[in-house]
Amino acid sequence: MMKRAGTVNPVFLLDEVDKMSMDFRGDPSSALLEVLDPEQNDTFVDHYMDIEYDLSKVMFIATANVEHPIPPALKDRMEIIQLAGYTPNEKLEIARQFLVPRQLDSHGLTEDEIRFGEDSLGHLMDSYTREAGVRNLEREIAAVCRKLARRLVEEGRVKKVKAKAKAKGKGASGDAEPAIAVDRELVGELLGKPKFRPYKKLDDSEVGVATGLAWTQAGGELLQSEVGLMKGSGKLILTGKLGDVMKESARAAMSYLRSRADGFGLEPGFHADQDLHIHVPEGAIPKDGPSAGITMASAIISSLLRVPVRGDVAMTGEITLRGKVLPVGGIKDKVLAAYRAGIFEILLPKENDKDLEEVPEEVRDKMKFHLVESMDEVLEIAFDGVVQRAPEVAAEFQKPASEAPPANVAH
C-alpha cells in the first residue's frame, strides 16, 4: 500500500475497528498496538516480508460505531473524536440531493415517473427508521422505488413516460400520465405499518410522569419516567430494564427527597408504609446512565405531592444527594430529540452550556434553555413554583383525592 501510494506519509483509514475479532488465525488488535504506538511504529516489523519499515509519518484514522468493543490497550493509543448524528434537516437534504437520485437511477426510474416530497421523506425518517445516519433511510427509499417500478411496468406506463421525455426535445407534450407523487398514504401502502412510533410530548401534564432525554446509538430520544405509589413496606421498585448506573440514580433521587422531606411538607417516615415503583416505558430496551436523575426525582416528588409535572418541558441531568445537578453527555442529540417531539423548553445542567454551541442555530433559536445547578431550580420550573411554596401549602396536595384534587398546571 505504501509503494502504491508513492509517499511515506499517506492517510490510512481503518474502518469499523470495533468489529475486529480474534480467532485461530490471529488477533489483529495486537498488530495494531505496534502500528499505532508512536514510540514503536518507526521500526515496525512486517512479519510476512520480515523487514522493518518506518510508519511514524503515516496518519491513521479509525472509525467505530461504539467504543466499548475496542480493546482498552488499543483505545489508549487513539484520540477519540465523537461525531453526532445527522439532524433531521441534514437527513432531508442528503435524501433529496443524493439518496433519491441514486435509487431512481439504480432502478431505471426518473423524476418524470416518481417524485418524493418532503412530507414522505420525513415520514420515512420518523416512522420507518431510527438511526444516527442514513443507511436504513436509503434502504426504505430503495424499497419504495422497487415496488413502484414494478407497478409502472404492470400498468404499461414506462414506455409512455420514456416517449414523453424523448418528445420534449421536439416540443411535443406527449400523452403520458403525470409522475407518481410519493406521499404518506402511498408509503404506508407500499411498506406496511410504521416500524417505529414517533416520539411526542405529553398531551397533558400528569401526576407522577416526567419527560427526560436520553442518548442512544441511534441519536437522542425522549425517556419518560413514571412513578406509582401503593401501600407497602418502604420498598423502591425499579422496572424498565434499567442498568446499574440508572438504578443508582433512582436511589440517589429517593435519598435526596427523604433528606428534604420537611421542605416538601412530608412526614419524615412518609416512605415507611408505602412502596414506590419507578418504571421507564419500553421495557424491552436496555437503559443506563446517570442523566435521568433529575427526571426521576421530579416524577417521585410529583407522585408524592400529587402535583403534575409540566408536560411541555423535557430535562436531563445527574443528581447528587445534596440536590446538585451535574453535567451529562449527548446534549446535541437530546435537544434535537425534544425539538422533533414538539418540546421547545428544556432543563439542562449549567455546565453543559458550552455544548449548546453544537446545536444547529435554526433549532437553538426556537428553543428555550434553562441552565440549572440545583434541584430547587429544576422544581421551580418543572412545577411552576408549586412545590416551593410553604410546607403547609404543599401538604394540601397530600390529602385524599376526594378532599383535594390534584393541582392542574395548564400549558
If you write DSSP's letter for every residue of 79-90 in order, what string do you get?
-----PPPPHHH
**Domain-by-domain residue ranges, the chain?**
2-75, 88-191, 209-398
Average pLDDT rounded to a whole number, residues 303-312: 91
Give yes or no: 259 in active site: no
Find, among 296, 255, 294, the residue nearest to 279 by Cα: 296
Q: What is the value of pTM for the model shown?
A: 0.74
> Using CA atoms, how far apart are residues 322 and 248, in angstroms rounded to an integer?
15
Least confident span in 82-86, 106-110, 274-278: 82-86
Q: Which of 127, 225, 291, 302 is catalytic?
A: 291
Grid cell, residue 394, equals 404543599
Q: Which of 91, 287, 332, 334 is catalytic?
A: 334
> Using CA atoms, how far apart are residues 351 and 381, in angstroms rounded to an integer?
18
pLDDT at residue number 159: 54
Between 209 and 216, name the one with better pLDDT.
Answer: 209
pLDDT at residue number 20: 84
Confidence of residue 215 (pLDDT cuts 50, 70, 90): confident
Give yes or no: 162 in active site: no
Fold exhibited by the domain 2-75? Rossmann fold (3.40.50)
Grid cell, residue 409, equals 398546571
- 5-22 pLDDT tens trace: 788 888 999 998 888 877
| Domain boundaries 88-191, CATH class | mainly alpha
What values do phi and psi take at 29, rounded to 5? -65, -35
CA 199, distance to chain mean position in Å, is: 11
| Domain boundaries 209-398, CATH class | alpha beta
Residue 215 burial (10 A CB sphere; 0-12, 13-18, 19+): buried
Least confident span in 84-88, 149-153, 364-368, 369-373: 84-88
